[in-house]
Each structure stands twice: as C-alpha cells, then as structure tokens.
C-alpha cells in the first residue's frame, strides 16, 4: 500500500479505536474540584445566558466540537454530521488534521469541505500539524473558508506511532504561521496537556490562543499502541498533564492569552468546572464521536439538547447568570490538586 493510503487508513483506525476505548468516565481530574452552590441565586432559569464569545464571534453555547477527522469516506460521513450538529447548536466545529488534504487534495477534498457546506455561516476551524508551513496552513484555511486555524502539538502520539515523526522542531514554524495566516491561530495539544513552560514558549512565539487539551479522555498513546503490532507504548501517557492540571498551569497566562479546555469532557459539570478554571470555551471530540458512532444524528442532537439544559441547571445552582459569572463561583480543590499546585509553584 502506498504511504498516502496508509495515512488515510490510519485516520479510519483512529475513529474506530477511539470508540473501542471510549469510556463515559473522565480521568481529567474534575473530581478534585468542587463548586459550591449559592443558596440565594437571585435569578430565573430563563434569564441564564449561555452565549459565549469565541475569538470575537458570538456562539450560542460555551462548547465546541474539537478536531477529529478528514481524508476518508468514513471521515466525510462524520464531518457532515458534526457540521450539521454544530450548525443546529450554533457552536464552532473543527476539522481533523488537513495534512492528508495537503498531500492528496483531489482524493480527500470533499471529506473536509463538507464541514463548510453543511454549515455555511458557522464558525469552522481548520487544523494542521506544527510541521505545516504558512502557505500550507493558509491553503487549509482557504479550503474551508475557516474562521480560525488550529495547529496541533502531538509529540507523544508521534512517539507512540510505529511510523511517527522523529524530529520535533516546531516553534519557529508556529511563529511563522501565526504571523502570516489570515485568521486567529489556536495551538492545541491532542490529549496530553500543556505546561507553564510550553505556554511561555508559545506566548513568546506570538501565540495568543491555546487549547490545553489535557489527558483524561481520548488517549493517543493507547490508540497508537493498539495499531502497533510490535510494541505497547501506552505507558507514554504517564507524562501527560490532565485537563485540570493544564488549566491550573495556565492560570498565570489567562490575563494575556485565551485558554480553551478539552480532554475528557464528558458531563455538563466538566464544562462548568473547566470554565471556572479559566477556559473561555470547552471542546469535545471523544464524546460527540461516541454518540455519532453508537446512535443517530437526531439522537445525538437530543443528547446535546439535554446537555445544554443541564449546563443551565448547574449555572442556576451556583448563581451564575452568564458565562462570565461562572468564573466567580466559589471553588475548593482536593489534596492531590493542592499538592500539584504546591509542587508546581502555582499560586
């Protein structure tokens, strides 16, 4: 099989392995965070405003469908459904990595453009690897008429892949993309989290938007190990920072960067806690992909309508009428997170 075909095949395997390993238990450390209720909320449920400013655009909800797929017939099917759902819910939707489009445009184009066709006025995000150059990044943006670009950082995933990259010289490239493309850039991890050191490096490179995408949900060390006939490199996930730990790492940066959270977002409570810890919006991949794989589009839509109702209930319980007010809710950390903050010098 030619290399390109192997890469398309890998994307298909990711979809099915993500579902195989999906669990509706999150390990992102949200259990270590308690929100305290407000016995005098002084609000009506109907007055709660879930609208969210997403990189300057008003979205209906503080959630988005994060990067998943593209490049194959199966990807085209999921991207079509994801964009239809994003359109209905009025939330942003991301493409999976468009590297395969940059290599094989004719064969893979429509698996990506469906994201825009089914969501003509929506917020669509293109996605490239940190190896792409600025011209390629702009090509990906132009194909989708994208409103933003994600650049993914996936060193652990590459290391766990039999055919993975062996050089990780990305910062100059990221700097170049940020200063040359036409839309805002979000640098994201793929489920292993981001440290203060990395946030400092990214800030110096001109990056102002980061999705910490921590561990606790989809685990690419596990997924790539399942594809690797010879070696089990799942242990590489032990280096990861959970989504909550990554958000704590981002605290000193939140006044100068826009921080997004993803990784192990399963419940409406996870969303509200991530926002309380500083996320401007909260992304999910594994959860929505799971629902689309196990049930119909309309059942998935019903799931997210219920999810939205519960976001509202939780906001009422903590006395928050808007997304901004969530950030004022009283919060208590468990001992493990206090210990983490002490050892990492996070105030």
User: What are the residues binding ligand FNR (CB under 6 A)?
Assistant: 14-15, 18, 66-69, 96-97, 127, 150, 152, 188, 190-191, 213, 217-218, 262-265, 284-287, 289
The verdict on whether residue 69 carries a ligand-binding annotation is yes
Q: Which is nearer to ligand FNR, 15 or 320 (CB)?
A: 15
CB atoms closer than 10 angstroms to residue 186: 23
CB atoms closer than 10 angstroms to residue 256: 9
The verdict on whether residue 243 carries a ligand-binding annotation is no
Q: Which is nearer to ligand FNR, 73 or 339 (CB)?
A: 73
Question: What is the distance of C-alpha 304 from the center of its chain?
Answer: 17
The verdict on whether residue 222 carries a ligand-binding annotation is no
> Which residues lie across from 96 on neighbouring strands?
none
Residues 115 and 78 sit within 8 Å (Cβ to Cβ) = no
Query: Which residue is closest to ligand FNR by CB?
Result: 217
Least separation in angstroms between residue 106's CB and ligand FNR is 20
Least separation in angstroms between residue 35's CB and ligand FNR is 21
Pairwise CA distance, residues 198 & 204, whole Å:
10
**Pairing mode of beta strands 185-189, 209-211:** parallel
Residues 256 and 41 sit within 8 Å (Cβ to Cβ) = no
The verdict on whether residue 240 carries a ligand-binding annotation is no
Max Cα-Cα span within the chain: 65
Least separation in angstroms between residue 27's CB and ligand FNR is 10
Q: Which is nearer to ligand FNR, 97 or 280 (CB)?
A: 97
Q: Which is nearer to ligand FNR, 113 or 285 (CB)?
A: 285
Q: Which is nearer to ligand FNR, 108 or 329 (CB)?
A: 108
- Residue 203 is encoded by which pair of tokens? 């800030």
Closest among 95, 86, 34 to 61, alpha carbons compared: 86
Least separation in angstroms between residue 140's CB and ligand FNR is 12
The verdict on whether residue 205 carries a ligand-binding annotation is no
Least separation in angstroms between residue 173's CB and ligand FNR is 15
The verdict on whether residue 151 carries a ligand-binding annotation is no
Closest among 195, 207, 214 to 252, alpha carbons compared: 195
Least separation in angstroms between residue 31's CB and ligand FNR is 16
The verdict on whether residue 322 carries a ligand-binding annotation is no
Pairwise CA distance, residues 81 & 193, whole Å:
28
The verdict on whether residue 88 carries a ligand-binding annotation is no
- Output b/e per residue, 274-285; b: 16+ Cβ within 10 A: bbbbbbbbbbbb
Q: Which is nearer to ligand FNR, 16 or 235 (CB)?
A: 16
Pairwise CA distance, residues 77 & 115, whole Å:
10
Point out the annotated binding site. 10-11, 67-69, 97, 127, 157-158, 188, 213, 218, 285-286
Point out the annotated binding site for FMN. 67-69, 97, 127, 188, 213, 218, 285-286
Point out the annotated binding site for substrate. 10-11, 157
């Amino acid at each position: 099989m030619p290399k390109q075909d192997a890469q398309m095949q890998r994307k298909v395997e990711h979809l099915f392995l993500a579902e195989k390993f999906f669990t509706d238990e999150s390990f992102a450390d949200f259990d270590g965070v308690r929100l305290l209720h407000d016995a005098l909320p002084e609000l009506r449920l109907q007055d709660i405003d879930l609208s969210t400013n997403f990189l300057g655009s008003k979205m209906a909800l503080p959630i988005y469908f994060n990067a998943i797929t593209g490049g194959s017939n199966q990807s085209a099917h999921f991207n079509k459904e994801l964009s239809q759902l994003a359109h209905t819910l009025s939330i942003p939707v991301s493409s999976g990595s468009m590297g395969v489009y940059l290599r094989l445009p004719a064969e893979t184009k429509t698996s990506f453009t469906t994201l825009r066709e089914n969501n003509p006025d929506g917020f669509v995000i293109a996605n490239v690897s940190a190896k792409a150059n600025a011209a390629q990044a702009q090509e990906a943006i132009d194909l989708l008429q994208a409103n933003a670009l994600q650049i993914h950082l996936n060193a652990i995933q590459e290391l766990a892949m039999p055919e993975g990259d062996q050089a990780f010289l990305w910062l100059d490239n990221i700097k170049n993309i940020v200063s040359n493309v036409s839309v805002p850039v979000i640098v994201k991890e793929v489920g292993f989290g981001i440290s203060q050191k990395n946030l400092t490096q990214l800030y110096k490179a001109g990056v102002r938007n980061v999705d910490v995408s921590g561990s606790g949900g989809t685990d690419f060390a596990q997924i790539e190990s399942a594809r690797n006939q010879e070696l089990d490199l799942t242990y590489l996930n032990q280096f990861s920072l959970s989504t909550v730990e990554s958000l704590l790492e981002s605290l000193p940066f939140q006044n100068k960067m826009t921080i997004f959270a993803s990784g192990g977002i399963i419940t409406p409570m996870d969303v509200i806690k991530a926002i309380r810890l500083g996320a401007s919006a909260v992304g999910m991949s594994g959860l929505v992909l799971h629902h689309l794989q196990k049930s119909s589009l309309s059942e998935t839509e019903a799931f997210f309508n219920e999810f939205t109702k519960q976001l509202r209930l939780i906001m009422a319980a903590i006395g928050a009428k808007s997304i901004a007010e969530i950030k004022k809710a009283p919060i208590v950390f468990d001992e493990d997170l206090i210990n983490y903050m002490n050892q990492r010098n996070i105030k």
